[in-house]
Amino acid sequence: MDKKKILYKLLCGVVIVALAVLLLTGLLGGNDKHYHKDALTGEDVTRIKVDAPTNLAYDGTINAEAWNEIFPHITASMNANATNDEIVDYLSQDPYLINIYEGFGFAKEYGSARGHAYTLDDVHQTARPHPLANCLTCKTPNFAKLVQDQGVGVYSMDFEEVYEQIKASGEVISCYTCHGNSAGNEGELRVTHNYVNEALGGNVATIDAATLSCGQCHIEYYFTPTDKETMMPYDSVEAMDPEAILAFYDSMVLPDGTVGFADWTQESTGARLLKAQHPEMETYLQGPHAADLNCADCHMEVKMNEDGTVYHSHELVSPLQSEAILSTCVRCHGDTNMVEKVHRIQDQVTARETEIGNKLSDLKDALAEANQNGSLDEETLNAVRKLYREAQWFFDFCYVENAEGAHNSSLANRCLDLAAEKITEATALLTAAAPVEG
């Protein structure tokens, strides 16, 4: 055999091995986004300025149909949210909820969220009572626009009246919700839900715009006692933790002089209770990714269309269902199996939720009994009611967060620890005060 050829092959082999080693150790690609060649990120997106369409909808918003001519890929991807159409019935999955939510709408019906395409159908069909138009806050851009045009009086208008108008001429969550009429301005994001600016004021700028665009709705909120206006119970990221939010609700003075906000008073226990709502942004912002990533990084794929332009898919997916998004985790998590990592956290959190939810339900029964049989003095009863209110709040803050621990497992577990502590304290009070049997 030709010696030169062998030498040549050997040399090639050495070069290939050396290159492979360099690549594997990350020396060539560096630790930046190019390390994983095929993972496009938000930084690769093509941002273009175009004139906005001039055919406005009935209320002056530009709807998705009008944008479709300019951004067909984005519009099509947003419409693909209709494929996320499954609802898990939480009440049959976790029957203890029916007991702890007794007296409130969520004990009648509580299904999981599904895609943005269904917001108007779902709010209309729910068995939960919704007398006022404020229930439309997070369902349609046309309600946000109505508030901008007519002010806070809109929140307490009749639900059906506003719903019918929007159903006939408006849209489900759409371009206007997150971009106003400015999508053509390089995809500029706008806060269109007034209460976000009202609650956060100057602190709006401390939150990444792509995170806050989701945080217009994926948050804990309440209806103000006077105007029934949708409102966030904090004014800064620092005040978004569940302890601070509880303190805010506890110290609120209501129009009739009562101290302490409640979503409902539970008749059987006499407790004034809070219902937490999907605090995704609050939970996320206190977790390990807050400084480096935004919601879009994990829930919107970055894709390239035929002409080479790179865009954010507006189909909001679980990162676990997207190879493209999972391949961006590598940058920080290396070759960790992310699906396993997430499921391990979720299994742990869900198991604790079931355990503590059932204990909360037992506490509710014991308190209801004490409340009805008159075995306790009013002072002890009130102390137990307060602990039950707090336990329910911390339990709920974890239970209703849709990532089931994946956004922030230490916060999820802190909430469950606090709930468990309050339940133990309340049970001890009830037991100490209970008449000795026999």
Whole-number Å distance between alpha carbons of 159 and 167:
12
What is the crossing angle of helices 242-251 and 378-399, to 10°? 140
Q: How far is the CB of 428 from ligand HEC (least distance, A)?
A: 31
Q: Kindly identify the residues of this chain, within the stretch 5-24, that bind ligand HEC according to CB under 6 A.
A: none
Give the residue, chosen from 53, 84, 165, 369, that forms a contact with ligand HEC under the rule CB under 6 A: 84
CA distances from 45 to 144, 298, 313, 321 (A): 28, 15, 11, 21
C-alpha dihedral sign at 289, 290, 292, 295: positive
Six token digits for residue 233: 């119970």
| Residue 114 one-letter amino acid | R
DSSP states of 180-211 as a string? TT-TTBTT------HHHHHHHGGGGGGS-HHH
Q: Identify which of residues 297 and 396 has a Cβ nearer to ligand HEC in the complex.
A: 297
Q: Kindly identify the residues of this chain, within the stretch 36-75, that bind ligand HEC according to CB under 6 A.
A: 42, 45, 47, 64, 67, 71, 74-75
Q: Kindly identify the residues of this chain, within the stretch 164-223, that bind ligand HEC according to CB under 6 A.
A: 173-175, 177-179, 183, 187, 189, 210-211, 213-218
Q: How far is the CB of 165 from ligand HEC (least distance, A)?
A: 18
Rule CB under 6 A: say whether 433 interacts with ligand HEC: no
Six token digits for residue 129: 């009572």
Q: How far is the CB of 167 from ligand HEC (least distance, A)?
A: 14
Side-chain-facing half-sphere of 222: CA atoms under 13 Å:
20
Rule CB under 6 A: say whether 341 interacts with ligand HEC: yes
Q: Identify which of residues 173 and 430 has a Cβ nearer to ligand HEC in the complex.
A: 173
Question: Cα-flanking dihedrals φ and ψ of residue 244, to 5°?
Answer: -65, -40
Stretch that binds ligand HEC, among 8-16, 149-157, 401-409, 418-426 (CB under 6 A): 401-409
Q: Kindly identify the residues of this chain, within the stretch 254-293, that bind ligand HEC according to CB under 6 A.
A: 280-281, 284, 287-289, 292-293
Q: Kindly identify the residues of this chain, within the stretch 129-158, that bind ligand HEC according to CB under 6 A.
A: 138-139
How many residues sit close enough to ligand HEC to count as binding (CB under 6 A)?
Answer: 74
Give the residue, chosen from 170, 180, 233, 319, that forms a contact with ligand HEC under the rule CB under 6 A: 319
Stretch (H or E) spanning 364: helix 338-373
